[in-house]
Structures are given as C-alpha cells and as structure tokens.
Amino acid sequence: MSTTPTLHAAPAPFRRTARRANQTSLTLFPTAARHGTSESASEAPASPPAPDRSTGPAAELVGIARLAASSPCADARRGTEYFLLPVRSILNRCDSERVPFRWTVNPYRGCEFGCRYCYARYTHEYMELDGGEFESKIYAKQNAGEIVERELGTEKIWGEHIAIGTATDPYQPAERAFGATRAILERMAEREGLSLSITTKSNQIVRDLDVLQRIAARSSLFVNITVTTLRTRLARLLEPRAPRPDLRLAAVRELRAAGIATGVNAMPVLPGLTDGPEDLDALARAVRDADAMWLAGSMLFLMPSSLKEFLPFIEQKFPRLARRYREWYGRAGYAPEAYRKEMSARFAVLRAKYGIGARPDEAGSRAWRSPQLSLELGASPACPATATAG
C-alpha cells in the first residue's frame, strides 16, 4: 500500500521575484593547502537567459514556469520554502548518447543539500527562478506515485534503464515530509523486469530498505552513493546540508548487507581540493572497507549558472585556487583534457589496488544491459532535467 503523505497547501499561491545577477566567467592547480579534516552533464543544454519576473503576471508564463508560479507554498523552515508542483509526467526522456540510460526520475526540483558545485542549478531557470535559489525553493512533484504507476505500464519504458536522482537528490530533507521518492519506489516494487538505479548523497535511503529489497527481487537495481571527500569540514563547506561522509559510507555497508548492489560515486572531483593522491587513496580504501562493489569518478563540470555561484565561493574560501579555476572554467565547463586523463588513470590504479569494480555491470550487478550500458557510468555525467513539466 502506498504511503504517500497527504499534503495541505496554503490557500494562496506564493508570488516570487527572481534576483538578476551578472554572469561571471569561471576554472589545474598548484597544490593548495588541503582544507581541514573535513548524475556533470556533458549533454546539458545551453542555460536559458537569466530570469526576469519584474513584468507580467504568472498567467503570461508558459510550461513548467507557469506551473511553478502557481504552485502553493506547503511549508517554510530553515530559510527554505517548499512548494507542491503539479506535473503531468514523472519519467523524463533523456536523448543523450553520452549517458547509459534513456529515462530519468527526479521527484523534486531544487535540492536542499545546496552543493556549491551542483551543475543542475540551471534547471531552476526553466521555472524563471535564479539558480541561486536552487536550494531555497524546493518543488515536490504532486501525486508522484499515481503518475509513475500509469507511466510504468506504457511500452516506452520496456527494456529501458530508469535512473533516479540524476539532477536533484531523491533523499534530500524534503523527502521526510513529502515522501515522493518512497511513493515512486512503491509503485516500481509492484512491477517486474524493470532496470533501475538510484543516486544519492543521503543515508536516508536505508529507510526504504524494505521496498528496495522488493524491487531487487523482481527487477534489476543498483544504488550509487556519492562521496566526494572523507574530510568532514571540507564536505560541510562544499555540501552544506548533505549527511557527513561517514554516514554515507555506513549506508553503503547497510545496503550491501541487505543484498542491494551498491557502489560509490566520487563525483565531482574538485581540482586542488579533493584530487590529492593521499585523499583519493583514503577514499578508495574506505570504499573497499564499506564493501562497495564499484568506485566511479568524474571531474568537475560547471554550467554557467553553477559557475556564477561556485567561483565567488572559491574566491572567498580558497583564494589561491581562484585564478586557475577562472582560467580553466572561464573558457569551458570542463577541466583540461590532460587533467581529466590523469585523474581517470589515478582512479584505475586505485580500483586495481583495492580490488573494486569500475561500474555496476563489472561489479556483478543484475542491471539490464543495453548498448547504452557499454558506456562507463563513471565517465559520463547525468542527463539533466529538461524544460518540461515533468
């Protein structure tokens, strides 16, 4: 039985005005002081123009922007507002040939974890919101379970992989209140022969071990837990509201003990911050100790809306890195190819050293294999959410 919570909307829609900000150009690195103890998107579309809601009522907006503007505010706490977003679809088609899946699911728009580097900030601009509001205005998709149940019965998804959590985290704090992810998984557990993956930074996923085991018994399922660094203080700076790295690795252990195919994504690798040989070696060792089946890594990718938020953060917290971030990412969203190849080789050495797989199929998961899955999951960024109502 579905456990989708009943949500009570505010009587009137919340009116918003977006901040306008100038686009800032963004940034291989001299070794900088390592800080404390502390699904990228090569196929992302061009970022839409900076939003301007200074003129015209919400009725003049179209598509997802209009739906967002009319969404009732359901709650507000800790400086974050939560809205109920009416949608027509939960499954989002991904047509990129660079990623190993055709369908994505993001139960929420916006992500409260507030990761400084998050590439998906641009998705808020489709709703005529500034990318800087990505972590402060969260949209929970209404009736997610009922909608996905209908979509799972259509021929379009037969034999296709469905990736959950490619743009926003399905287990961000909002999930405790709204339960959209749980509702979707419960409907998936009723089906047989699906091919699913879940990507998250949250240990909250272990709450759903019961439904994950039901899915794994009838379909192919694997889970990616993202861990960018073991340094707690650095992780708190980079991912302000995400669970600590040790809690995420504990979730890996619990998932593996429950028989769920689980690995770790070290994504993104941040030049000068999380790419040190000692840091990556410690991370790979911890991944092995947590019984993870694979370790995948990819380098930092910055969309313009992410660059606008990330570069000022680097300039303030890590000024010695600012110039090179600006040089690298000001010209393109990627680090230089030579650096990317160096990091890829470093990960290959670490996987061989600690006996860890590189991707789910190599690690023996039951994920359905299509020609797309021949691509290395760790090398390809996730397909971003598109400007659709879903």
pLDDT tens for the chain, residues 1 to 390: 444 444 434 333 333 334 333 333 222 333 333 333 333 333 344 444 444 444 444 557 655 555 555 565 656 567 889 988 889 999 998 877 767 788 999 999 899 999 999 988 877 676 677 778 888 899 999 999 999 999 998 878 888 899 999 999 999 999 999 999 999 999 999 999 999 999 999 999 999 999 999 999 999 999 999 999 999 999 999 999 999 999 999 999 999 999 999 999 999 999 999 999 999 999 999 999 999 999 999 999 998 888 999 999 999 999 999 999 999 998 888 999 999 999 999 999 999 999 999 988 744 444 444 333 333 344 444 444 433 333
CA 248 to chain centre: 15
**C-beta atoms surrounding 52 within 10 Å:** 12
Token output for 340 = 């990317």
What is the reported pLDDT for 249? 98
How far, in Å, CA of 135 to CA of 112, rounded?
A: 4
Please check whether residue 282 is in contact with residue 230, taking contact to mean a CB–CB distance below 8 angstroms: yes
- Encoded amino acid at 66, one letter: R
Q: Tell the residue number behind the tokens 């991912």, with chain if given.
A: 239
What is the reported pLDDT for 159? 83
* Domains of the chain by residue range: 58-379
The CATH-assigned architecture of domain 58-379 is: Alpha-Beta Barrel (3.20)
Buried b (16+ CB within 10 A) or exposed e, 361-374: bebebebbeeebbe
What is the reported pLDDT for 382? 43
